[in-house]
């Protein structure tokens, strides 16, 4: 699928399975409440458990979060920074608390998200508590049939992102 079409589908609220710089993710426009809720349903995820987002830019992160780390050290890359939101109600549908997990993966899909300019849900494409997928063929059929678009880029690296909390790296 070409870039322009992917951008249109993001703006329509479509749900994607897509490659990151670590594992396959499932996501959507994080500002689309219905799509965010559908992802929680697909993953059998606790409604109150926060979901991370791919940020459209470092500037966007600085506008919406209190930055306590050197963003240039971690982004783009295989890191999820847990940052305090400037407004606790911001993106409440993905993170119903004071903090927000933000990523800027080093991959082609991120570039498309950045062109759209909206935050994009990023969570591993697996049922909660089950192993993550490094190949599309590892994704359960029950998940595949509930999404709109699958972008297959073959086998991925397979290591989940490292959390950065209060400026310190925390391995999962």
What are 3-59's pLDDT values in tens digits? 999 999 999 999 999 999 999 999 999 999 999 999 999 998 888 899 999 999 999
- Residues spanned by the domain of 69: 3-166
Residue 102's domain is classified under what CATH number? 3.90.870.10
pLDDT at residue number 19: 95
172, part of any domain: no
109, part of any domain: yes
What are 95-116's pLDDT values in tens digits? 999 999 999 999 999 999 999 9
97, part of any domain: yes
Q: How many CB atoms lie under 10 A from the CB of residue 128?
A: 12
Domain tally for the chain?
1
| pTM score of the predicted model | 0.94
Q: Is 9 helix (H, G, I), strand (E, B) or coil?
A: helix
19, part of any domain: yes
H or E element: which one contains 124? strand 120-124
103, part of any domain: yes
171, part of any domain: no
| Site of tokens 């400026």 | 167
């Amino acid at each position: 699928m070409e870039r322009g079409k992917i951008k249109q589908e993001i703006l329509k609220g479509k749900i994607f399975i897509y490659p990151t710089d670590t594992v396959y993710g499932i996501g959507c426009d994080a500002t689309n409440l219905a799509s965010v809720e559908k992802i929680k349903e697909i993953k059998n995820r606790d409604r109150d458990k926060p979901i991370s987002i791919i940020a459209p830019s470092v500037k966007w992160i600085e506008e919406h979060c209190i930055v306590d780390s050197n963003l240039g050290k971690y982004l783009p890359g295989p890191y999820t920074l847990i940052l305090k939101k400037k407004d606790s109600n911001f993106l409440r549908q993905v993170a119903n608390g004071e903090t927000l997990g933000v990523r800027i993966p080093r991959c082609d899909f991120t570039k498309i998200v950045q062109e759209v300019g909206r935050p994009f849900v990023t969570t591993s494409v697996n049922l909660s508590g089950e192993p993550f997928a490094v190949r599309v063929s590892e994704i359960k059929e029950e998940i595949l049939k509930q999404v709109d678009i699958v972008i297959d880029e073959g086998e991925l690296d397979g290591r989940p992102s490292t959390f950065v909390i209060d400026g310190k790296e925390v391995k999962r």
